Structure 1
């Protein structure tokens, strides 16, 4: 793998060592290999790890296949992939309802990861940054190489990847609200999560009312955290479960009405703003 990046205007002056270790989160073992084989260039010239870099410098990084060994992923059907954004490092796709994000068994090949692996082959492999439930559709971000994966993971942890969901709930919600309730595992059903004030993990969901239709309310949901089933558990906890929810609604029918509608982030290498909408969504 060979990557060439121009450091953006906001880049603070730092050493090559700090760039690789602190900014790009390159593992220690890989940094050692890069140093010993002189696998990094600044503006086309060889450099030392104590050389300083700054805004506008062109960084060329040369990696070997052994630095990041490939995984064995069964190839699915590339025609199942609907691309919302793609470049050398990342890809955002629109996941269909009813499709798992990734395989749980080595012989599975009908998940989004399998189909994306077929789309990216033979030059790249997909790496999961975050997940969507099988029943949830919409925008989902993947790394196209393991080099960028930890950087995207840090952006997610720092809440610098903005995600907004569309949902339809039972009942009438008349005003916007924020749900701040810890979520933990359900002791009686391993598939489910529940509100757990003592042993759960912090979870915050912001709800914006869009419109009422009969006995249902269309809402937007924005997450400050990314707990499993967070939106589903939070809305069910206030008496407004998602329409079609097979786990948290008493009378589910039809598809789960939850869709990852928007995704925004700044590119980790260029600082370019990337904004996508997964159309058509649940409503216009």
Structure 2
């Protein structure tokens, strides 16, 4: 189950047959110290005061599935899918978390965003911590903005000849994102900052574009997927990369958009 691929073609990330997010979690890698899964969108990593009525969480589901305790090494937002890493004891999880704090972990995401994104670029835009009135009620407010940087690369552009809002057509781009920091909602907020919000982002995104993607492509999730994570194994110290395919709903969305790909002139 060890996936060492780092630079495989994007087409290999796409899932041809839909898979249900219900049932057992897909294990991408497992050894005696760590385990990585493919987190489906909509799954909380652990219990949260934000949604007290939720009963299904990645931590408990994976613990029951493997028959042993697991400790998350990091988090993915609830609507984000992709690689999620755990350790089998708290010390290993803390070591992995320390790597992330020291910017030693390399994460790659793929996203579908509004509008045409050209070439590559660096988003260097400090972000203030966004407090949730429930989950963050015990945290001290008014912290200064923290440095946050994200590299982006345009992989494909699409134009659907249907009007959306004030625009005569629906334009999208498929982008690869590499954050060097891990601020709250960093990728979602950074893409909004350059006016290319991620499709399906109900907090920071474009409501008309989200509605169009839902009605025309039956896409109901956030078009953001963590497709790879590289790190030093907390026990052996060797560098390893774990990769994930796009979640099937996002892969289907991209596959439909391929019918409207804009060929560079």
| Same-fold call, TM cutoff 0.5 | yes
| CA deviation string 1:54-104 (max 9, x = no partner) | xxxxxxxxxxxxxxxxxxxxxxx9943110001111111000011111111
> How far apart are residue 162 of structure 1 and its match?
1.1
Question: What's the Cα RMSD here?
Answer: 2.4
Decide which structure has the larger Cα Rg and report it.
1
1:206 aligns with 2:151: yes
> How far apart are residue 239 of structure 1 and its match?
0.8
1:272 aligns with 2:238: yes
* Deviating 4+ runs (over 4 angstroms): 105-108
| CA deviation string 1:154-176 (max 9, x = no partner) | 11112222110000100011121
Q: Is the 8 A contact 2:130 2:184 kept in 1?
A: no
Residue number in structure 2 paired with 1:239 = 195
| CA deviation string 1:199-251 (max 9, x = no partner) | 21111111111110111000011111111100000000111100111011131
> How far apart are residue 269 of structure 1 and its match?
1.8
Higher share of residues assigned strand: 1
5+ residue gaps, structure 1:
1-76, 192-197
Q: Distance in 2 between matches of 1:135 and 1:172?
A: 23
Q: Distance in 1 between matches of 2:195 and 2:244?
A: 28
Residues 150, 256 of structure 1: alpha-carbon distance in 2 compared, 3 angstrom cutoff: same
Q: Distance in 2 between matches of 1:100 and 1:108?
A: 8
Residues 102, 149 of structure 1: alpha-carbon distance in 2 compared, 3 angstrom cutoff: same
> How far apart are residue 263 of structure 1 and its match?
1.1
Q: Distance in 2 between matches of 1:275 and 1:226?
A: 18
Q: Is the 8 A contact 2:199 2:206 kept in 1?
A: no
1:115 aligns with 2:61: yes
* Aligned partner of 1:250 among 180, 183, 206: 206
> How far apart are residue 107 of structure 1 and its match?
7.8
